[in-house]
Amino acid sequence: MSLWASSIPESPRWLLLNARWDTLEEYQNRSPEDRESLNQILDIVGNDLQKSREKKISHESYCDFIHMKSPTIMLRICIMSYIGLASALTYYGICFNVGNFGLNIYLAQFLSGLSEMPSLLVPFLLGHCGRRPFSMLSLFLSGSACLLSLLISKFYDVPVLVMTLALMGKLCIQATVFVSLLYGIELFPTAIRQKCVGLVNLWYRVGCILNAVVVPRQGIPLVAMLLYGSGPILGAGLCLLLPETSGEPLPDTVLDCGTQPGLRLQLLSCCTRQSPDPAQEKEIPFLKRRPEQPAHLREKSTLSKPELPDSL
């Protein structure tokens, strides 16, 4: 695996943002196909971004922790980490205890594996709907199915229906995990994308570990199913605070994250302050610009007015 991983080329966008010109030239000289595709990627990024990044790198060196202190980045990290934690609790909680829903354990394991087959259609569904609506719908359906299975198991003795709802919740939460991997890459800027995605995956693993505490041992405990159902529903509501990234270019800096389309809430606008950085100022329209005076007119305007004689 390590030998195979060493052969994977680095991202051209990351190389461009970090001014790795030697590596970019090496990629261009490999083959005509690589040169053509690399030139297309660099054209998408744009020459303006390249010049601005050269000036910023030559004058200032920003720390990754300074980027992560941005309110926008911190909000996205918290939301995606919670979604990963809730997804791990729900998915592995159902997988590890699929034999406690009242059916034969062998039949339950077979149906559990069969229920994951429709998740192969997720890439095709993402081409027709955005990341945020799909995540909200899958999280809400997963939480609702878990809560319904809890109610039916407490008031009605229908193991088949309870098992069906539980596997439906497992299918929806698995689709959420698939989308969250892609969603997290598109939410965070290139400068700190690896660190942010790694932090989100860390909380997903924490959710896997916590299943040992909330694991149902006999039957379906009330606390466990309430946790499996309420967690995804709350995550569906938190998705409203995230922007829609489908069809949008990947953000390269923290400033690019602010241009992604999303909901503008008054609470968040009061908590964030506008930076006086001139790079964030809007460009003055051409019609409102004051035309520069010619050189000979500027020289005349700088001359002092002649003094009048006292007799006048």
Are 11 and 106 within one domain?
no
Residue identified by tokens 């595709």 is: 37
Question: Where does a domain end: 231, 257, 283?
Answer: 257
Are 136 and 192 within one domain?
yes
Task: Give the single-character DSSP code of 265.
Answer: -
Report how many domains make up the chain.
Answer: 2
pLDDT given for residue 61 in this prediction: 44
Q: Find the domain containing 21 and state its range.
A: 7-49
Rounded to a whole number of angstroms, the CA Rg of the chain reads 28
pLDDT given for residue 150 in this prediction: 81
Are 42 and 73 within one domain?
no
Tens digit of each residue's pLDDT, the chain (312 residues):
666 666 677 777 677 667 777 777 777 777 676 677 777 666 655 554 555 554 454 434 455 566 677 888 899 999 999 999 999 998 988 888 777 777 778 888 888 888 888 888 888 888 788 889 999 999 999 999 988 888 887 777 788 888 888 889 999 999 999 999 899 889 998 888 888 899 999 999 998 888 877 665 555 567 777 888 899 999 999 999 999 888 888 888 888 887 777 655 443 444 444 444 434 434 434 334 444 444 544 444 444 444 444 544
In degrees rounded to 5, what are phi and psi of residue 308?
-80, 145
Are 104 and 78 within one domain?
yes
Are 174 and 224 within one domain?
yes
Which run of H or of E encompasses 136? helix 131-155
The closest of 90, 137, 80, 131 to 231, measured between CA atoms, is 90
Angle at 208 between CA 207 and CA 211, to 5 degrees: 90
- Does residue 305 fall inside a structural domain? no
Are 76 and 37 within one domain?
no
- Does residue 238 fall inside a structural domain? yes
- Does residue 234 fall inside a structural domain? yes
pLDDT given for residue 93 in this prediction: 85
Question: What SS3 class is residue 139?
Answer: helix
- Does residue 312 fall inside a structural domain? no
Question: Where does a domain end: 208, 223, 257?
Answer: 257
What end-to-end distance do the CA atoms of the chain give, in Å? Answer: 96
Confirm if 187 and 78 have CB atoms less than 8 A apart: no
Q: How far apart are CA 108 and CA 106, in angstroms?
A: 5
Are 152 and 40 within one domain?
no
Are 141 and 110 within one domain?
yes
- Does residue 11 fall inside a structural domain? yes
- Does residue 178 fall inside a structural domain? yes
- Does residue 219 fall inside a structural domain? yes
Q: At 186, which CATH number?
A: 1.20.1250.20
Q: How many helices (H) and strands (E) does the chain have?
A: 16, 0
- Does residue 13 fall inside a structural domain? yes
Are 88 and 171 within one domain?
yes
Are 104 and 235 within one domain?
yes
pLDDT given for residue 155 in this prediction: 78
Are 128 and 239 within one domain?
yes
Are 85 and 148 within one domain?
yes
